[in-house]
Each structure stands twice: as structure tokens, then as C-alpha cells.
A and B are shown apart, each in its own frame.
Chain A
Amino acid sequence: MRWYWIDRFLEFESGRYAKAVKSISLAEDHLHDHFENYPMIPHSLVIEGVAQTGGLLVSEHTDFVEKVVLAKVPKATFYCDAIPGDTLTYTTTIEYIKDEGAMVSATSHKGDVLHGELEIVFAHLNDSRLEALIDPESFLRMMRLLGAFDVGHAADGSPLVPSPRLLQSIEVGGNGRANAS
């Protein structure tokens, strides 16, 4: 299965906040085990979707240079269930970014109804052995697929575009080998 727990960005304001949607569908295989006769999105996967929204927001702020990983979920409170046919809107707001990591506060809404409130702490990993994990091409693909560049704005308000550094690192290849385009 593909590990996408959001479907599209509605808003993406670099360095500030991002909104993404997650559509819940009976076509998602795991829902038939969670639970049999009462499919509902597991809260753990809502957390993952919120982490993906917030994580891309935090990562983009440092032009995908920092290795941003989900480190801690201080708060995840849910108020109702979300079931197939529902569309969840995740709003993530950067509370704090510093060298060591970032904290994001978030809400999940089912229409106007508050579905969940969360806090997520991300850490910036600085272990050079993890270089191989960083794949700029994947980030670019994900941002494009999720429509970040269709709706997003850079810090100065101009339309969000892939940075020259990101595009260049893809042309060269994450491991220094040239990629065929």
C-alpha cells in the first residue's frame, strides 16, 4: 500500500500553516478490519496524516535540508468518529521551529465538526549516516502530487515553487549519480 494519509493540500503557507484533506473510502482495505461492520479511520492514521501535513510544512521551511522526523505526540484528543464518505480537513500550524526540531499544533475537522486536536513534535536528525534516507525526489513528487505548488505561497506571499536547490539535487541524484530525466 502507498503510505499517503492525506490526499491534497487546500492551503500551504510556507513557515506558517497548512491545510490538507483526507477522504475516507470503503475502498481502503484496512477499514474492513477496523472495524468489521463499523469501518472508521483509526485515530493513529489521522495522527499520521496530520504528521505528514505538518512534517511537509516544517520540511519545506528548511527547503528539505533538515531530516524531519515525527518524534512525539504530546496531545491527540478525538471527539467523534470519521467514517467512509467523510472528508477530514487537517489544519496544522507551526508553533515553533528551531535547530533541533519543531512543534506543530493541529485540528482535524469533519466539515464544521471538530474531530480531533493534536500537538506534534518533530526532531531534526543530524546523523550523517542517515543521508541515504533523504530522497529529494520523493519530497518533490509528494508535494506535486498533493497540490502544494497549486495552492501554496512562499513566505513573501509569492506562489510556492520548488526551490532551485531542490531541483538541482534531483538532477544530480541523491547519491551523486546523474538521473535520466
Chain B
Amino acid sequence: MPTKDEIFEKIQAALVDALGVDDEDVTPEATLVGDLGAESIDFLDIVFRLEKAFDIKIPRGELFPEDVLTDSQYVQDGRVTEEGLAELRKRMPFADLDKFAENPVVQDFGNLLTVADMSRYIESKVEVTG
């Protein structure tokens, strides 16, 4: 049963391998897309490595609910609606959506996810000690 630090280190290693960045670049506040340069195909690679490192399953859309962002019920004129924001909060309890909620432009959502969000997500899937 890993500690929070061990979880972070494994995530750091996965992101270094997948994105070709240095250890020092992978800080908790770093955004995957903006700071670490992740592109859509990289998310597939990252998910593979996380599933392997933590021996967990990450179903499609659990870490990154793309289905919400492409649903006309939740997105209008390129912005996520109140209903959409509520759905996102429900689906992503590990992410801090307050900043995004101030100006919920769909295009910007990709830049939301930070390494810390990922840590919290993994922590919710494994038994953490300390």
C-alpha cells in the first residue's frame, strides 16, 4: 500500500517516460497540457503506464470525461453550461474546477488537469498509507 509520496513518484516517472520531460518539470501544480506539453495521444500512453504502475484499471472517460465535453446537453457556444459543470464536478471529484468554472471555455478544459489532480485520482483508486 503506497504512501502519497510514493504515488507522486510513480506518476512523476510515468510522465517523464511518456512526455520526455525532466523530473524537475513534474511539479504538483504543473498542467499536463500547458506546462508538460501533453497531446491527446499522450493520454493513452500515460493511462497505460499508470495502469501498469499501480495495477489498476482506468476506464475511458474516468480521468478525462471527454464525453461530457462533446455533449450538446452540457456544452453551448463553446462553453460548458451549469449542468455541464455540475456533471464535471461529479465525474472528477479529484480535480479543482473552480478556476475553470470562472470562464468555462471548452477549449481551455484540456489545460485544466494538473499533476496534483492526477495524484488525487490515483489516491482514490488505491489504498493509501500516510
Q: Footprint of B on A, CB under 8 Å? A: 71-72, 74-75, 95-96, 98-101, 103, 121, 123
Q: Is B48 a contact of A99 with CB atoms below 8 Å? A: no
- What are 26 A-to-B residue pairs whose CB atoms are below 8 Å? A71-B44, A72-B41, A72-B42, A72-B44, A72-B45, A74-B17, A74-B18, A74-B20, A95-B52, A96-B48, A96-B51, A96-B52, A98-B48, A98-B51, A99-B60, A100-B44, A100-B47, A100-B60, A101-B44, A101-B48, A103-B45, A103-B48, A121-B41, A121-B44, A121-B48, A123-B41
Q: Footprint of A on B, CB under 8 Å? A: 17-18, 20, 41-42, 44-45, 47-48, 51-52, 60
- Given known contacts A96-B51, A96-B52, A74 and B45 CB-to-CB distance under 8 angstroms: yes
| CB nearest to A101 among chain B residues | B44
A100 CA to B46 CA in the complex, in Å? Answer: 12
| CB nearest to B39 among chain A residues | A72
A100 CA to B20 CA in the complex, in Å? Answer: 22
Cβ-Cβ contact count across A and B, 8 Å cutoff: 32
A101 CA to B49 CA in the complex, in Å? Answer: 13
Which residues on A sit within 8 Å (CB–CB) of B44? 71-72, 100-101, 121, 123
| CB nearest to B45 among chain A residues | A121
A101 CA to B45 CA in the complex, in Å? Answer: 9
Q: How far is the CB of A61 from chain B (nearest CB, A)?
A: 15
Q: How far is the CB of A10 from chain B (nearest CB, A)?
A: 27
Which residues on B sit within 8 Å (CB–CB) of A72? 41-42, 44-45
A72 CA to B41 CA in the complex, in Å? Answer: 7
Which residues on A sit within 8 Å (CB–CB) of B42? 72
Which residues on A sit within 8 Å (CB–CB) of B45? 72, 74, 103, 121
Q: How far is the CB of B73 from chain A (nearest CB, A)?
A: 22
Q: Is A95 a contact of B41 with CB atoms below 8 Å? A: no
A72 CA to B38 CA in the complex, in Å? Answer: 12
A145 CA to B42 CA in the complex, in Å? Answer: 34
Which residues on B sit within 8 Å (CB–CB) of A96? 48, 51-52
A96 CA to B58 CA in the complex, in Å? Answer: 13
Which residues on B sit within 8 Å (CB–CB) of A71? 41, 44
| CB nearest to B51 among chain A residues | A96
A71 CA to B44 CA in the complex, in Å? Answer: 10
A151 CA to B31 CA in the complex, in Å? Answer: 47
